[in-house]
Amino acid sequence: MTDLTKNTELIEYVVAEVVRRLRQNDARQSGPSVGDCTLDFPERLVTLASLPRCLEGFQCITVMQDAVVTPAVFDELRDRGIRLERADRPGTARSS
């Protein structure tokens, strides 16, 4: 594993953890939706390698409506109990 790969993985982990903690804090302040932690993923191709290394705390990943999602991603999300939803743009109203 190269130093660049290690640095990229570390950055992805840190960003995912910061987002998760911010969303937990927002959820605690807003009340009943404490468990609704969603990761908006704007890429058109979703592979295991492109997902953040740390998915802890996320209950849902939202991808673009026309995103290609590999079978390995479906399996990983199912095993972790994470929903996959599609939207016209991540961060917009959810559609199953």
Kindly report whether the global pTM for this prediction surpasses the value 0.75: no
CA distance 43 to 40: 9
Contact predicate 85/62, CB 8 Å: yes
Task: List, in order, residues 6 or more apart from 48 with CB less than 8 Å away.
Answer: 70, 72, 73, 76
- Tens digit of each residue's pLDDT (9 = 90 or more) over 19-42: 777 766 654 444 323 245 788 888
Burial class (CB in 10 A: 0-12, 13-18, 19+), 57: middle
pLDDT (0 to 100) of residue 96: 42
- Tens digit of each residue's pLDDT (9 = 90 or more) over 39-94: 888 888 888 888 877 788 888 988 889 889 999 999 999 999 999 999 886 555 44
pLDDT (0 to 100) of residue 7: 77
How distant, in Å, are the alpha carbons of 8, 37, 43 from that of 86? 26, 15, 12
